[in-house]
Amino acid sequence: MTAQSRPSILVLERDPAVATSLVFALRLEGFEVEVHAAPEALERAIRTKPDCLLIDADHPAVSPADLLSRVRATGHTGPAIFTATNPTRRLGADIRASGARLLEKPWSGDGVVAAIRGAIAGQWNETAKADCLAP
């Protein structure tokens, strides 16, 4: 990303309604957004070197740790945020061990934007995480 370019976000989301709302919120905030529903498409698209990945960990075809390791094998080293509804402790531990972040659904649009901006800037803390959650 250059100073004049818009940060790019690559989204893997199985729910079309969630994907649509993410695209709307992120584009409104100045992000370039590319959405895919299938993990295979995400792996191909990753070659564009997006600034951040936003990945639905509830996707039935996704093992977060396996998917992220395949993505990392393509050379992408940028931040990754997984989203999940009622994540298990094991899922949370696996995601953190992979170097990614976890946001629990539901979240607020402003909170997701703040989390993505923080991840791109290399900043992440419990306050930022709490700000992402819907009231």
All domains in the chain, ordered by first residue: 8-132 (3.40.50.2300)
Q: What is the pTM of this model?
A: 0.84
Residue 121 burial (10 A CB sphere; 0-12, 13-18, 19+): exposed
Q: What is the pLDDT along the chain (135 residues), one digit of tens a residue?
A: 544 589 999 999 989 999 999 999 999 999 999 998 887 777 777 778 899 999 998 877 778 878 888 888 888 888 999 999 889 999 888 888 888 899 888 877 788 998 999 999 987 654 444 444 433
Q: CA 79, CA 61: separation in Å to the nearest integer?
A: 21
